[in-house]
Chain A
Amino acid sequence: MRVMSQIAMVMNLDKCIGCHTCSVTCKQTWTSRPGVEYVWFNNVETRPGQGYPRRYEDQERWRGGWRLTRRGRLVPRSGGRLRRLASIFANPLLPNIRDYYEPWTYDYQSVAEAPLGDDFPVAAPRSLLSGKPMSTIAWSANWDDSLGGMPQHGEDDVILNRIQEKIKLEFEQTFMFYLPRICEHCLNPSCVASCPSGALYKRVEDGIVLVDQDRCRGWRMCVTGCPYKKMYFNHRTGKAEKCTFCFPRIEVGLPTVCSETCVGRLRNIGVLLYDADRVPQAAATPREQDLYPAQLGVFLDPHDPQVGVEAERAGIPHEWMEAARRSPVYDLITRYGVALPLHPEYRTLPMVWYVPPLSPVVEAITAAGHDGEDHENLFGAIEKLRIPVSYLAGLFTAGDPAPVELALRRLAAMRAHRRRLNLGDAADPAIAESVGFTVEQLDDMYRLLALSKYEDRYVIPTAGAGDVRALEESALTGCSLNYEGGPGMGGGTASGPFGEASGRPAPLSVETFHILRDRSTADTSADTSGLRGRVNLLNWDGRGLPEGMFPPGAGNGSTGSRDGETAGGAGPDAGAGEITGRPPQEGETTRRPFQKGPNP
């Protein structure tokens, strides 16, 4: 037995209202920089739906995760080492930016400076990749939010494709839920396995999977390797980036940003102990439906004295053992058995689990005019409403409905039990017994899932309390400007001698700080002098005209060297020039919008 500890997350899907607060706060913290405009470390998908990037679950196409060879060996589904190296010059399994979406901004300047006229000025969309006007915005990270465009896109849901045709229509009328997704920080990560440089690694202490930015060489194999498509390529720095599980916060005992800001209190974070020796065996379980129980078998009971002894031998700190014993994640996964892994069939042993949503079932019953809180009704409906269960099974158990049904029945029992108490009736132990629980267990589960006190749902040990001061980009203390090159090194606009991606990277917090400060305090448009002629329109506040936004010749007097070269180009430049509007000619008055004046 080799005990290792892992920080894991369980999300209670019943409580997700699809508000995207987690996505937005995550983006502001981690990916509000040029190069990762299209990247969402955390995204919220509507199910049924295509997901982000589109149809990422179609592993026949993208070949993420692992597969078992005929001889029972595990190899990355996209091919072994030689095969990966052979496709290093061009990787046909790499999603194109259009499989995510082409990031864009709006040409606000044209609205601000439009002369008074009969036409209502419109901010035209512009691509953040090419700077060209975009005729259509065709897709984004949650384009099919809340079943938007379902008649057209419904056919594209990968899991729905596996469910029979006749069930499909009925299904669409009854069933929808949200699925927030972050990196799974798998026990058997296929992104790490496919990294040719060895830059991706799983941290021993807390199991967080990270990219060493100094070792990444931009071979892009991790993007192919990850079946959840939670590896991203920063197209400006040429390096891979991924969800970090907010390790600077976790290290000081704070929950991740997505968890901290979740208004539904649906995320639980805690420590799980697992036996690293059993991981390869579990991942190589022959039948896909057995992967969920196999992964359960990998986890260790922190209350077991034997495990305690082994953990001490493995150097797991006492504080971590204490946290493991109070772990909400361990309770939801193992003790209550209501949390399930996302797509265990990828064989990566994911570590962000989900409590399946009962609310669609409740709503179906209520809509049919029955009592949606009655456990008899609920139990009957779970068995009868085959479609939600088989869809959830497609997500969480490789198609085996039994674990999903059990989890839903337990949630239904909890619901019925608590309703009795709320209405002043005596507790009915028969309800608890019908799902193999005691009344106390149901109450405990209710406390964790429904009340979700901050200190109950986040039990996070610190990395080294004595060294909090030294933590990189610490949320608590320490000077994050104290790195090589000194403080205030220009943040996002700093650039090394070999073009925009070179030089020591500034800590992310510094870069974000500078960008935000520039945006909020500048009298003119954000300073883009260091961007080598590329303008980050995300940081543009609509005031003034940043140098290099449009090529010279349109009359804005910009003379960047790059612009001089671009000016010879075709379409985009000509188009751009028209939109900015020409400068006022002599004898012509410029009129601000909303300025009073005679009608033209």
Chain B
Amino acid sequence: MPSPADVFLWGALPYAAVALLVTGLIWRWRYDRFGWTTRSSELYESRLLRFGSPIFHVGLLFVLAGHLIGLFIPQGWTDAIGFDENDYHTMALWVGITAGVLTFFGIMLLIWRRRTTGPVFLATTVNDKIMYVFLVGALGLGLSTTLINASGPGYNYRTDIAPWVRSLFVFQPEVSLMANTPVEYRIHAVSGLLLFAILPFTRLVHSFTAPVPYLFRPYIVYRARDPHVIGTTAPRRGWERSDI
């Protein structure tokens, strides 16, 4: 019988976080598309950014891919192709530590740059600072979780944490699976969920509009004025432009 705290953390919090993520994204898309930007500071300073930003972003993409593989590919599948847990653990450890250290180093370089470069620091909002706490928190906790379990056989999260994550998607959260996992995993999971929850309200939203469609569109974009609206002011009812 899981405790109420466990039920809240592993049965309710994930849904609350995702609900905030989704509604937040919809809300921001509707009301703040103008604010939906990277707010790049490359114009002010590019020497440190040139290293920090790609290291952080590419590292983060690897971290993301690692999470997806670890959480959504059941152990049974890797076992079936003869890739046993020991090999998997070794591989995940090396790739994970590399990606994690790169990401962490990248974000630290970027934060240092942000603090020490006058114009960049002046352009930093309170929102950004709060966001950095959550982002660095989730990253740091994740990296330390990996490092804590680096020695020895390591903890096999694919027997409990991964099934728990998958159970969330079928709306049958198996709370008890999480109750007995090592504490560092649980803290990291909560920090990750909190990061999801605040994502749409920070500048991190730019990740949801990664410009993948660019690869598939013609170079030159033509657009006509809306034939019914000239300018951006919608006409009053009854005053719409006619087709004639």
Contacts and interface: CB of A to CB of B under 8 A. Distances in A.
Interface of A: 76, 81-82, 84-85, 88-92, 94, 96-97, 127, 129-132, 188-189, 192-193, 195-198, 200-205, 212-220, 233, 235-239, 248, 251, 463-464, 466-467, 470-474, 478, 482-483, 496-505, 507, 532, 534, 561-562, 566, 569, 572
A509 to B, nearest CB: 12
A464 B241 contact: yes
Given A90-B50, A482-B233, A503 B34 contact: yes
B38 A219 contact: yes
In order of increasing CB-CB distance, the 6 nearest A-B pairs are A472-B231, A502-B35, A130-B118, A196-B211, A238-B39, A499-B125
Interface stretch (B12-20, B188-196, B221-229): B221-229
Nearest to A86: B54
A218 B233 contact: no
A85 B210 CA distance: 10
B201 interface: yes
Contacts of B224: 203-205
A478 B36 CA distance: 29
Contact of A501 (B37, B49, B211, B220): B37
Of the candidates B213, B215, B239, the one having the most CB atoms from chain A within 10 angstroms of its own CB is: B215
B24 to A, nearest CB: 11
Contacts of A504: 31-32, 34
Most chain B CB neighbours (cut-off 10 Å) among A88, A220, A534: A88
B166 interface: no
B230 interface: yes
Nearest to B32: A502
A467 B241 contact: yes
A569 B121 contact: yes
A481 B11 CA distance: 48
Contact of A198 (B127, B221, B232): B221
Contacts of A90: 42, 46, 49-51, 53-54
Interface string B92-123: 00000000000000000000000000110111
B233 A94 contact: no
A505 B32 CA distance: 9
A203 B226 CA distance: 11
B58 A89 contact: yes
A295 to B, nearest CB: 16
Given A97-B44, A235-B44, A532-B126, 13 more contacts: A81-B214, A88-B211, A89-B53, A91-B42, A192-B219, A192-B220, A212-B223, A219-B38, A251-B231, A467-B241, A472-B231, A498-B28, A534-B122
B220 A131 contact: no
A204 B223 contact: yes
Contacts of B118: 127, 129-132, 572
A437 B86 CA distance: 88
B89 to A, nearest CB: 31
Interface in B125-140: 125-128
Given A463-B230, A498-B32, A218 B206 contact: yes
Interface of B: 28, 31-46, 49-51, 53-54, 56-58, 118-119, 121-123, 125-128, 201-203, 206, 209, 211, 213-215, 217, 219-225, 229-233, 235, 239, 241
A97 B54 CA distance: 21
A204 B222 CA distance: 6
Nearest to A507: B232
Contacts of A496: 32, 34-35
A217 B37 contact: yes
Nearest to A66: B219
A238 B34 CA distance: 9
A567 to B, nearest CB: 13
A501 B231 contact: no
Nearest to B205: A498
A213 B230 contact: no
A129 B46 contact: no
Contacts of B38: 217-219, 238
A359 B127 CA distance: 57
A130 B119 contact: yes
Contacts of A216: 37
Given A201-B222, A213-B34, A238-B38, A467 B122 contact: no
A572 B120 CA distance: 14
A564 to B, nearest CB: 11
Contact of B230 (A81, A219, A235, A251): A251
Contact of B215 (A85, A201, A472): A85
B220 A96 contact: no
B220 A188 contact: yes
A10 B43 CA distance: 32
A99 to B, nearest CB: 10
B214 A499 contact: no
Contacts of B123: 235-236
Given A91-B42, A204-B224, A532 B217 contact: no
A569 B114 CA distance: 12
Nearest to A4: B222
A85 B235 CA distance: 39
Contacts of A467: 230, 235, 241
B127 to A, nearest CB: 5
A468 B198 CA distance: 44
Contacts of B221: 192, 195, 198, 200-202
A379 to B, nearest CB: 42
Contacts of B56: 89
Contacts of B58: 89
Nearest to A220: B40
A228 B56 CA distance: 32
A25 to B, nearest CB: 22
A196 B209 CA distance: 10
10 contacts: A85-B214, A90-B46, A129-B44, A202-B220, A203-B222, A203-B225, A235-B43, A238-B38, A238-B39, A569-B121
Contacts of A197: 209, 211, 214
A238 B123 CA distance: 11
Nearest to A532: B125
B34 A501 contact: yes
Given A217-B36, A237-B34, A499-B128, A196 B214 contact: yes
